Structure 1
Amino acid sequence: MRGCEVISNKTSRVGQLAGALFFCLWFIAGNAWAANQQLGTMQSQIKEQQKNIKLSKQELAKLNTQLKADEQAISAAAAKLNQTKQQLKQNQQKLATLQKDKQALELQAKYQKQLLAKQAESAFQAGNHDYLKLLLNQQDPAKLSRSLDYYDYLNKARIEAIDALRVTHTKLAKNQQATKETESKLQALLSEQQEHHQALLASQQSRAKVRNQLQQSVQNDEQKLTKLVKAEKALKARLEELRRQREEQERRERAERERLAKLKAEQERQRRLEAQRLAAEQKRIAEQQRIAAQQQKVGEQQRLAAQQQKVTEQQNRVAEQQAAARSSKPNSGGYSGLSTNGSLRWPVQGPILISYGSPRTAELKWKGTLIGASEGTQVKAVAPGQVVYADWLDGFGMLLVIDHGRGYMSLYGHNQSLLRQVGQSVEQGEPVALVGDSGGQDRSGLYFEIRYQGEAINPTKWLARR
C-alpha cells in the first residue's frame, strides 16, 4: 500500500509537472503570437507613417514650387510698379514745366495786346490820314516828309506787334497740344500703375495663402530642421560653385595680366632701343650741323634741320605708341574684398530682429542677421562688387549674392524684388533689391550675411556701429 501511495504521489507530481509544462508552452505560444501581432501592427503603422511622410513631402514640394512662382510674380510686378512710378514722376515734372511756359506765354500775349492797343490809340489820336491824300495835299514839303515818316513808322510798329502776337498765339497752341499729350500719357501711366498695383495685390494674396499652407505643413520640428539643413547645404553648394567659377576667372585674369606685362616689357625694351638709336642719330646730326656751321653751307644746314625734324617726329610717334599701349591695358575688373574697420553702411535701416549666432533650432544657429524694414524699402550694396546670383532659392526667397573679391561675398535674402542681374557690377550704396517677405516669412525684413570662402562670418566687424 505504501508503494502504491508512493507511485500515486509520483504520478501526481508528474501530472502536475506536465500540466505546468503545458501551461508554460501555452503561455509562451500566446506571448509569441501576441508579439507577432504587435510587430505586425507596428510594421503597418510604420508603413502608414512612411506613406504619410511621403505624401507630406510631395505636398511640400508642390507648395514650394507654387511659392516660388508667386514670389517671382510679385518681384516682377513690384519692379514694374517702381518703374511706372519713376515715369509718372518725370511726366508730372514735364507737365509742371509746360504749365509754367503757358503762364509766361499768356503774360507775353497780354503785353503784346496792350502794346497793339496803345499803337492803335496813338494812330487814332494822330488822325486818320490817307496816304495818297497826304501826297496830293499842297503843304510844306518838310512837313509832308515828316508826316510820311511818322505814318511809315506807325505802320511798321503795328505790323511788328501783330506778327509778334501771331507767333505768341502759335506757341500757345503748341504748348496746349504738348500739355494734352502729356496729360494723356499721365492718364495712361496712372491706369498702368493701377493695373500693376492690382496684379501685385493679387500675387501677394496668392502668396499669403500658399505661405500659410507651407507654414502649416512644416509645423513639425523635425521637418523644420530637415528643411533648414537642406537649404543651408544647397546654399553652400551654390556658393562653392560660384567661388570655383570666380577663382577660375581670376586665374584667367592673372594669366592675361602676365601676358600684358610681358608685352609691356617687350615694348619698353623696343622703346629703349629706339631711343638709343634716335640719340645716336641726333648726335650724328649735331656733329654734321657743327661741321656745316664751320663750312657755312646754308643748304647743308637746311637738310640737317629737316633730318632733325624727322627725328623729332619719330620720337613723338614712339611716345604716342607708348601712351596707346598704356591706355589699351584692360581693366582686370577685380575687387579688393571688404575692409574690417567697421566703416560699411548697413544695407537697410531698421531694428535687428535676429542677430548673428542666435539659436535657430535645437541644433542650428543663425548664419546672418534679420533686419526689420517696410516692404518695398530699397536694399543697398554694402561695398562694390559683381552680382553672381539673383534668383529664388528655397529657404531664402528672392536672393541676391554679390562677390566683393578676395573670397568675400554678401547675401541679401527674403526680398520682394531684385533690381540687378547676374554679371552686373554694383557700387557701394547702389540699390540692388526691394525689401519683402519672400521664402515663407511672416513679416517683412532683409536677411543679410557676409561669407568668406563660402563660410558665414559675423558681419559686425565690417558694418558701422548703429
Structure 2
Amino acid sequence: MRELKDIGEALADKQQRLAQLKEQTALARVELHAHRLDLAAQVRISYSLGRQDPIKLLLNLDDIADVNRSLSYQMLSQQRRLRQVSDTKQSLLKLGELKRRAAATTAEFSALRSRRQQSLDELESRKAERAELVEALKNKLEAGATELELLRDNESALVALLEDLRQELSEMPMPAAQTKPFAELRGILSWPTAGDTLNRFGTPRPEGNLKWQGVLIGAQAGAPVHSVSHGRVAFADWLRGFGLLLIIDHGDGYMSLYGRNASLFKEVGEWVNTGEQISVVAAADVDGRSALYFEIRRDGIPQNPAKWCKQPSLASG
C-alpha cells in the first residue's frame, strides 16, 4: 500500500539522519576533548607563571628586547587561554545541540516504526480477510455451486459497479484536457505490466458459456503495474472475482481496469499520469497463476486491449 511505501522512505531518511548525527556527535566529542586538553595545558602554564613575581621576572631581564618578548608572551598566553575557554564552551553547546537533535530524530524514528507496524498489522488483517473469502469461495464450490454461476455473479457485480461509477462520474466532468483524448491513443498504449497474455480477448472461458472480457498478463508476484494513460481513480478496493481492483476513468466513457493486485498505491479521486505505478501484482490466485487482469471499457462495453496497446500480445487477433 502507498502508506507503507511512504513510511519506508521516511524511515530510511530518519535512519540516514541518525547516522549523520552519530558521526557529528563523535567528531564533536573529539573536538571537545582536544579543547579541554589544550585548556588544561594553558592552565598549567598560567599556574606556573603565576607562582613567580612578574615584576621580579622583568627586573631579572637585562635586555629591553627580552622584556618586550616576555610581556608579549604573557599577553599571547592570556589571549590563548581566553580563546580556549570560548572554544570549549562552544564545543559543549554544539555537543548539547547534537544530542538534542539526535533525541528528537530517534523519537520520530520510533514513531514511524510504530506507524509502519500498525500499517503492516492492518495489511495482514486484510490479507486474512481475503484468505477467508477465498476459503468461503472454495467451500461454496464444494457445497455444489458451480464455478460458472460464481463467474456470472462476479461479472454481474462488475457491470453493476461500472454502471454506478459511470453515473457518478458523469456528474463530475473531467477538467480541460492536458493530454490527448483517450480515443486518440488507440494502438499506442503501453501494456500495464511486463509479461505474456495468457488468454485471448473475446474467446470462451474454460469454465463454460462465458467469454473473456479482458486479458490476463502473466507476471511475477510483486511486479509493478502502471497506468496506461492519464486519468482519475474511480475505484480502489476488493471485488469478488477480481481481487484488489483499481479502475481509472480516462474521460469520454473510457475506463481501464486492473485486477488481481497485491497492493494498491492510489486512492479514489486521485489523479494518475501515464506510466505512473498504481499497484503490484498479487501472488498466485485460486487457479494457481500469478497474473494481472486487465480490461479497457467504453461506456461499460469491453474493448480488446490488444487493439489499444502497442506491444505484441497473444490477445490480438
Q: TM-score, with normalisation over the residues of structure 1?
A: 0.55
Task: Tell me the equivalent position of 1:163.
Answer: 86
Of 49, 59, 80, the residue aligned with 1:128 is: 49
Task: Tell me the equivalent position of 2:311.
Answer: 465
SS in 2 for 1:128: helix
Task: Tell me the equivalent position of 1:394.
Answer: 240
Task: Judge conservation of contact 2:284–2:291 (CA < 8 Å) in 1.
Answer: no
Task: Judge conservation of contact 1:214–1:440 (CA < 8 Å) in 2.
Answer: no
Task: Tell me the equivalent position of 2:75.
Answer: 152
Q: Distance in 2 between matches of 1:381 and 1:130?
A: 84
Identity value in percent = 33
SS in 2 for 1:151: helix
Size of the aligned set, in residue pairs, is 307
Deviation at 1:217, TM superposition (A): 0.9
Task: Tell me the equivalent position of 1:179.
Answer: 102
Q: Distance in 2 between matches of 1:136 and 1:113?
A: 29
- Give the letter aligned to residue 155 of structure 1: Q
Deviation at 1:402, TM superposition (A): 0.8
5 Å-filtered alignment, 1:226-237, equals 226-237=149-160
Task: Tell me the equivalent position of 1:342.
Answer: 188
413-422 or 90-99: which moved more?
413-422
- Please identify which structure carries the higher strand content: 2
* Structure 1 pair 357–131 and aligned structure 2 pair: CA distance change class (3 A): farther
Task: Tell me the equivalent position of 2:315.
Answer: none
Q: Distance in 2 between matches of 1:96 and 1:444?
A: 40
SS in 2 for 1:218: helix
Deviation at 1:114, TM superposition (A): 6.2
Q: Distance in 1 between matches of 2:13 and 2:305?
A: 38
* TM-align CA RMSD: 3.8
Cα deviation digits, residues 356-408 of structure 1 (max 9, x gap) = 34432321122122234455554321211111222333332332211223432
* Structure 1 pair 158–110 and aligned structure 2 pair: CA distance change class (3 A): same
Deviation at 1:187, TM superposition (A): 4.3
* Structure 1 pair 86–441 and aligned structure 2 pair: CA distance change class (3 A): farther
5 Å-filtered alignment, 1:245-324, equals 245-247=168-170, 249-250=172-173
Of 255, 267, 273, the residue aligned with 1:421 is: 267
Cα deviation digits, residues 189-215 of structure 1 (max 9, x gap) = 445544544554454345324412312
Task: Judge conservation of contact 2:260–2:281 (CA < 8 Å) in 1.
Answer: yes
Task: Tell me the equivalent position of 1:332.
Answer: 176
* Structure 1 pair 391–116 and aligned structure 2 pair: CA distance change class (3 A): same
Task: Tell me the equivalent position of 1:365.
Answer: 211
SS in 1 for 2:209: coil
Of 268, 271, 296, the residue aligned with 1:450 is: 296
Q: Distance in 1 between matches of 2:252 and 2:109?
A: 48
SS in 1 for 2:279: strand
* Structure 1 pair 405–209 and aligned structure 2 pair: CA distance change class (3 A): closer
Q: Distance in 1 between matches of 2:237 and 2:42?
A: 73
Deviation at 1:101, TM superposition (A): 1.9
Task: Judge conservation of contact 1:414–1:441 (CA < 8 Å) in 2.
Answer: no
- Give the letter aligned to residue 348 of structure 1: T
1:356 and 2:226 equivalent? no
Task: Tell me the equivalent position of 2:11.
Answer: 88
Task: Tell me the equivalent position of 1:385.
Answer: 231
Task: Judge conservation of contact 2:222–2:283 (CA < 8 Å) in 1.
Answer: no
Q: Distance in 2 between matches of 1:80 and 1:247?
A: 30
SS in 1 for 2:150: helix
- Give the letter aligned to residue 89 of structure 2: R
Task: Judge conservation of contact 1:380–1:431 (CA < 8 Å) in 2.
Answer: yes
Task: Tell me the equivalent position of 1:239.
Answer: 162
Deviation at 1:86, TM superposition (A): 3.0
Q: Distance in 2 between matches of 1:442 and 1:199?
A: 25
Which structure 1 segments of 5+ residues have no match?
1-77, 254-330
Deviation at 1:333, TM superposition (A): 5.0
1:101 and 2:55 equivalent? no
* Bigger-Rg structure (1/2): 1
Q: TM-score, with normalisation over the residues of structure 2?
A: 0.76
* Structure 1 pair 333–220 and aligned structure 2 pair: CA distance change class (3 A): farther
Task: Tell me the equivalent position of 1:24.
Answer: none
* Structure 1 pair 88–249 and aligned structure 2 pair: CA distance change class (3 A): closer
